[in-house]
Structure 1
Amino acid sequence: MTTLTSTQAPVAPMAAPISARARYTENVYFQDGRLLTGILTALLYLILATSLDAAGYVSSMALLVPVTLGALLLGFLMSYSRFDGFFALSHSMFTGLAWILYLMSGLVSRDEIAPFLSNGIPEIQAKAYFVLLRWLNWIDAALNNVASNDNYIFIFEMCFLVWWLTYLGVWSIFRYGYTWRAVIPAGVVLLINTYYAPKPILGFLVVFCLVAMILFVRTNLAEQQLRWREQRVHFSQDVTFDFLRNGLAYSVIVVALAWLIPGLGRSLEVRTVMEPLNEQWEETTERMNRLYQGLNRQTRPTSATFGRTLSLGGARNVGDTPIFQASTPRGRYWRAVVYDTYTGRQWLNTGEVEAEYDAGQPVPVGDWQLREPVTQTITLLSPVGNLIFAAPDIARVDVPIAASVRPLPVTTAAGEESFEVVMARSRRPLEVNEQYQVVSMQTAITERALIEASTEYPDAIREQYLQLPENFSERVAADAAAITAGAATPFQKARAIESALRNTIPYNDNIEAPPPDRDPVEYFLYDIREGYCDYYATAMVVMLRSLGIPSRVVSGYAEGVYDPETGLFTVTERDAHTWVEVYFPGYGWIEFEPTAGETQLNRPSGDEEVQTDLLSEQMPQNSEASPSQDPMMDEMQDPYANAALAQQAALEEQARARRVWWLWAIVTPILLLLGGWLIWRTRISGPTAFDPELPPLLFERLQRWAQRLRLMGPASQTPYEQAQRMGQALPEGRTPIESITESYVRYRFGRHDLSAGAGVNGEGVPVGMPPAGMVATGETGDPLILSWQSLEPVLWRAWVNRLLRLGRRRRQAASTPPDAGWGNEVD
């Protein structure tokens, strides 16, 4: 083996003093392209800030831009400084808090801080105290699960989020070179903002993706330039322009493909797997809606539109997107969810009883008077999640459902316990253009019947549906009593309040959210005197409850537009609606419409001669089914039809489950094998072509094998001494071991071109050449790669033989008797 000869090194001249600029730039990870990297980083976070401002949640989000600029400036300064991470992060936290409070003080009026000013506190300090006090009040509301619509807190938290994202992003990129860690959190926030923003901001996401990918190209090139300089690899300075040009073209192609290729969300299997996560996300969204009631929100035709809470917030944004079509003899309301509890800020659905019904399985509905079955065929035109929309009361659905139900104070027709569905979801994904069929027991009540209805309310109904907040407005209660002063029955009182709201308060979708310290109903009735359906329904229900009349709020869709030629009701996003239901003993829950601009509910007067057994005449019990009878009700009364439908639904569920199981059974092993092969190829197998880092890469793998085979010498040994030790233990691999070691030494410590006359090793074989046997076989390729490929089988055999030897030693040790140990050895 040859050894490197050394000559006496000349005395190095005294180093020149380090300039001030170099003293600071040495603390930055990237030494190339710092200006362009800084510009791209600043653009990235300014796009995020402006997208949050353009989303339109509140009207005072423009200060996110100066917040971002402050975070960028501090992040750049700290990255170039000599401060460590702890000082930089702690300093950023206090500086950011002070900067945000200063900017937010411009949003606070003098009237709001009058109590502070009266105590002699300076104005700027008083404004900061005001914002902090509002923040503490919001935390108290969150801990006590109380609704809050304080927009100051939303702005404060968004500013703090953007500050930390920007500062940590700049620090990560410039101090440590972690571009991915900086971009991904900002991208996730922008993606969520794009999805939930009241206004369309998709363009911000597209530009963000382009800038992010160009930043990845620039920082990756800067990191490669660091390595090339360290390893003395020559490269042209023009490579920067080529990289950026190709990176921009690649970024445009990627964004275009992401725009054009349909998402995986349309896959039935993927949606089935994601269903538990979607449900958890809906619960989280509902909780966030409670904590940020005052924000303007985007109304979406999805299950998130109708959850277990209904907040009285600001303007609602709805479009004309078709949601579904309904084929039915008549339609008025398509119920989604029933709300029973009012907190003073929002409505809650507190139903805790969950029940599952198979496809076609009857729901044990109450035996109310004057009800008749109505069949509806719903054709979905947009994604709606898994919510079931239907006229009340749902008696049967031809898809399997999971329903929130409430016990009713009446029995079924068979004398059994009955339940009411207050919210239903399909247990399988509902796709666009899919149909489902629902049978509902719809009321056919007359005004005379409602006037003559009993006022003996069951205790369960009174307890649940007369609830009001503790601080309920006495003014609203007094007005309810005044409006109904001339009404004698609950129905007449309900009609009086309904008419008063419809005729005196105009409809307006675009209203501001009520202030945090203002009762929403008083805000609607006395301050702005306009609003939309959520406010109309809430005002009517709380008025009725103050009079002792059980009532509740219901959300879903209004009837939509009826086409006489097709016989279809087309329901659009704009038909999203909230209405009122009032309880009448013996008849159940009856709808009322207090919203101005909506169609008036007109019922038969009942003065004409009406048979009280109308329902039984339409469904004769002792005769063959008449042609006018509902065919789906025939199936409900036929146990054999029910059994067949249930069996068919079970088979469909099993088939779907098998399809999903086989999909994962095929894909999972393929992915595992592919991942294992890639790991093995990366860690064990050699490269397939020469690159500037090949000699140190192969030598590092050689050292890993030496550790695995217990052939690693002390750290003081030179690479040649390590190679000699390994070659003695593995005579078959001595030549490639020496070849790889010699290439590494020349690459690491010399200034020689590896492709030009590298010399010979200890056996006279040219360095970098494979063993003669491999050349004789006619194999071609880089000599260093071929050397590694010839050495690899030798290493594997040595490793297997070592494992076998260890196994034999363990067996021998286990079979050795105790008295034949070290103490009994013969010299």
Structure 2
Amino acid sequence: MAHFSNRQGARGEETRRRVEEAGMILRLWQKLWTADALGMQCVALALWAFGYGIASSLRNTETESFLGVCLAAAGIGFGLAKARWNGIRASVWMAALGVLLVWVWGARLPQPLFDLCKAALAALWAWAIGANAEVDLDALRAAWRVILESSSALATRLQTWRLGLDRNVIINDALVRNMAWTLLLWLCAAWMGWFAERRKAVTAFLPALSLLAAVISYSEYRSFTLWLMTVLLLLLMGTWNYRDHTLRWLTQRMDYSESIGIDTTQAVLVLTLVFGGLAFVAPSVSWRELLEDMRNWRGQNETAEMLGIQQPPGKPNAAGGAQQPSLPREHLLNSASANSETVVMYIRTGELPPAAGASPPAEARRYYWRNAMYDKYAGSGWTTSASFDQTFPPDTPLLPGLLSGYRLVQLEVEKAKPDGVLVWSGILFRANIPLTIGWRVRPTSNLFADQEALLLADMYSAAASAAEYEASVYVPAPTLDNLRAAPAHYPEDIRLLYLHLPRSVPQRVFDLAEEITGGLSNPYEKAKAIETHLRAKYPYDLAVPSPPVNRDVADYFLFELQRGYCDYYATAMVVLARASGLPARFVSGYAPGIYDAPNTRYVIREKDAHSWAEVYFSEIGWVEFEPTASLPEIERDESRAFASENPANDESAARLLTRFRAERIFVWASPLLGLLTLAVVYYAFVERWLAMRLAPEAAIHLLYQRFYGMARPFAGAWTRAETSSEFLRKFIGRLAAWDRRASTAKLSAQMIANAFALTEMYHASLFANRRTGRQDAARAWRVWKRLRVQLLRARLLSILLRNMPGA
């Protein structure tokens, strides 16, 4: 019996120990979900996002220690704030400590410092054991000499780097760059730790968030880290605000409902999801011009280069093009390519059936095949303004709309060998291969924009690796009447880019433009007069020298050389057109080539490499002009009614655009759909679970408080010492006087019955002699669920009828 008793005692002890362990684990788990613990978890995650976002944007920089540096600095800053140090004192101390640690790391001093300490301890020991003992200072001097030499070398590198920064000379010193970034992260993280202890979320995050935004705006790498820090900031603002209020209530011994934590959690999560979702999908197109201006400030951003911040993915422009002013075809004239019969590509348009014989039929249209369009004339040649690369999947419309007055042509391109550059005619609408577009001006994000907005999209070039592809292009088909009727006012974006000329253009070029177009007010007549003048006055010649250094190309061609090839003609026409007030650009690509009628294809050879001019006409777009004397003029119809020549192509494009719009609308709406789904899940399941996990009395009190808040507008203004019974009477009385339509009368009766039932359950939980059970809370939940829908319906009806109950 005693043996059994001992066994029973041992079993009881084991059970008690397990219960205590479970209780400790439960208390620890609960502490992890307090406002303070959640806040510190958010700060730690924000430090990771900060360090990772900065590290992702840097190249040739040791970033492995960034997270450790951030955590250490934030921990020390938090500790100093906890110790109630003065802010100025703590700032100076943290800055000095950061500089010291970075210096020790940069000069590689840990081992020399260790040797110095070791030698100093040995010398002190020798001095301590006897005054007559000989003290060896050689090791001490040697260690100190190493420290001085390493520090001096590092100081020299820092001085060189600083001078380069002052003089805009790029000096890529990886060590100095590592030190600079480590110190910046140390200071930002220490600031965050200091203000995190004081629970000031915005102040804590501001320096780190600003630095990360500046770096990511330049590099465009890992931009989600900036979004993550913003979401964490919103969560912290709500969490610490709740903590501060509850601490103040506890200090002042104020009673508050247990459900406040649940209500606050709901509000913080919903607001964070809403604003975080909006921030994630908000278009950033309006900022890109500003950011690109920042990148291009003073020619190039030497500071970003010296700090090792990467260029955005795809920079420099994927479509190629060194951005040094040049004549695009000049390199071809130094080799046999200028007269080469080597086939570059075959292009089919599908417009004509096969024909017998080798001579081209009269019906074969004349297309210009482009691969780059230049806007920036620098006097010595052509380049492009800042362009933004954008990658498109196959069969994705590049424009969010269809163009009227244009012919939609389907191209089948077969290149002899891939060169990474896309070739097309007119305005590129889509391609059946992945491609990267270099935009000077991105297409409008409005999915239902008008044609004028669509025509403002400005492409520099397109890059693709495929040798064969299909493309849909819009080819302008204006008549002479259309061109003559085009007004002479232009959109602001067009005027800024395509009327600009450098100051280096001599005055005699402007005088010649005035001479050619004087007395003409019609934009088309001016453009045609310039084209005619160049074709008549300047003979075509490939054997011409390159323009002299520091000479304006157009001026040199027009007044001295007076002969040349396509680059000179196109340059001269664009410059003269701009001098006459006509927006114009320089286009590079290939001339039409030869039409192979039996095989229904255009054959493009190396000798067809060509440049031409385009002039912008309001309400029409860019129109090609041929100033080169060796090629025939472009023929245009005098007048005709435009009609689609291939309805099947138009229908296919319309279907593609409809699918694209639907996909874009879904993508833009997905955050809202996600929020709606979360709201449905929350109100259908989560809210009930949160309420039912409370004690039954607390659950009923929570539901009544929600009813009180939603029903307050119906019951009128709050009065002092108002009881729940008085509130119910006011609510019922005002509903009884509401509009007696059939729909509102039935709704009012349902609301009164449910409000009465919920109020009775609330009173019972407060004053009844029996204990409130789970079944009472469940019944209150069912009543509240119906009542909430009814209150929402009543609010909506009151808005529609403009008749609030009791108003």
Q: Note whether the superposition's TM-score is higher than 0.5.
A: no
Which of the pair is proportionally richer in helix?
A: 2
TM-score under structure 2 length normalisation: 0.38
Q: What is the TM-score when the length of structure 1 is the normalising length? A: 0.38
